[in-house]
Amino acid sequence: MRPAELALLAVLSCAPLAGHAQGVPTIDGKALVLQGSQVSEEAALRTKLEAESLKRDRLGELSDEQVAALEQTLAMLTGSSAFIGDLEGLGGGLAASEAYAIDDNNPYAGRLFGDARQTIEEMIIETAKRYGNHPALVRAGINPVEFRCWFQGLVKQESGFSIGARSPAAAFGLTQIIPDTAKYLGVYPAYYDDPQLQLDAGARYLLEQLSAFGSMPLALAAYNAGPGAVQKYGGIPPYQETQDYVVRITANYNAYAAKIDGVDTVGSLDPADMVIAEASNVADAGLHYGMDSAATLADAMGRLKAIIEKIPNTTTTKEALDLNTYARAEVVRIAAVVERLKAARAKVDAARNALLLQAYAADAQFLKVKE
């Protein structure tokens, strides 16, 4: 029998009796029904409250279990892994800060990217400023601006502003220094890979001849034919090549002197020369940028391999997750290096195309319009 029914019987058994005529007892049914209904509702409410209390207790137990499980999971997945610092340095290998510098640390990036990238004309300016007050120039009465014009005229004659120019006699670079002279000047073999060294060596060798002979025409003759030939003939040797050489550089000097009013003046190259200089500079820088990037990528792949090899040796879930995350980050870093390499290639291609267009423009056949 249900609790509500038992309660109703209890009420009925205890109900007050009302006396009537002849002493026969009677029951107040309405009052009994109301009292029984109230008792039944109270019993049902108590049952519901007891059930909810049991439910809360069980939920509390489940909540405690869930919290404990979460705490255990957090303990496994949070905190710091001691090896992360080692990964950044990679145990004495190439550090991440070196392999993936935020700013491009490739030594040739300055000649390829940015608004202030270095051009061959700017390298010439830098060289002219470095030696503009050389004692030989002072004695010859040549000021820094004039030296810049003479020196730029020499570069135009020697190489046409082509960094990789090579003569049948093995003279190389912007100033066409032969290997023996490069060794004498202390730039061999580095000058093969550095246009600034080519310019520096050429300027020093020219100034050495100016010190010996006192005038720029004789210094130019000695630069071309050798100081012994100038000494032998007591002036410019009777060699057609050397005589033409001095005349052409003098003409270059006069043309630049009309354009250059300060040692820092830029934009003095003719359009055709500027295209050649730009293509040469970008191609040379792009080649060396690629070589340097290839070495960086090789080191980066070595870092990635070392990281992946650590994963099977992890002792906790946290370490395994950290290593996997770090490996993914390493791949993203490598992708950034590759994108920079692609950008360098695009620069080289653009410079090459400009050079081809200049060559087409120089050929009258490509400009002729047929009716």
Active site members = 158
Task: Report the candidate in 326, 252, 341, 256 with the shortest Cα–Cα distance to residue 294.
Answer: 341
At residue 25, what are phi and psi to the nearest 5 degrees? -70, 145
Token reading at 232? 């032998």
Cβ burial, residue 116 (10 Å; 0-12/13-18/19+): exposed
Token reading at 87? 């990964």
Task: Report the candidate in 35, 29, 48 with the shortest Cα–Cα distance to residue 7.
Answer: 35
How many C-beta atoms lie closer than 10 Å to residue 156's C-beta? 24
Token reading at 337? 């290096």
Q: Which residue has the tokens 């003095």?
A: 268
Q: What is the dihedral of CA 205, 210, 215, 217, to 10 degrees?
A: -10
Cα–Cα dist 282/196, whole Å? 14
Q: What is the dihedral of CA 25, 29, 33, 34, to 10 degrees?
A: -100
**Which residues neighbour 98 within 8 Å (Cβ) at sequence distance 6 or greater?**
105
Task: Report the candidate in 158, 118, 157, 148 with the shortest Cα–Cα distance to residue 268.
Answer: 148
CA distances from 270 to 1, 57, 153, 266, 350 (A): 115, 91, 12, 11, 19
Cα–Cα dist 329/304, whole Å? 10
Contact 195, 173 (CB under 8 A): yes
Cβ burial, residue 78 (10 Å; 0-12/13-18/19+): exposed
What is the distance of C-alpha 241 from the center of its chain?
48
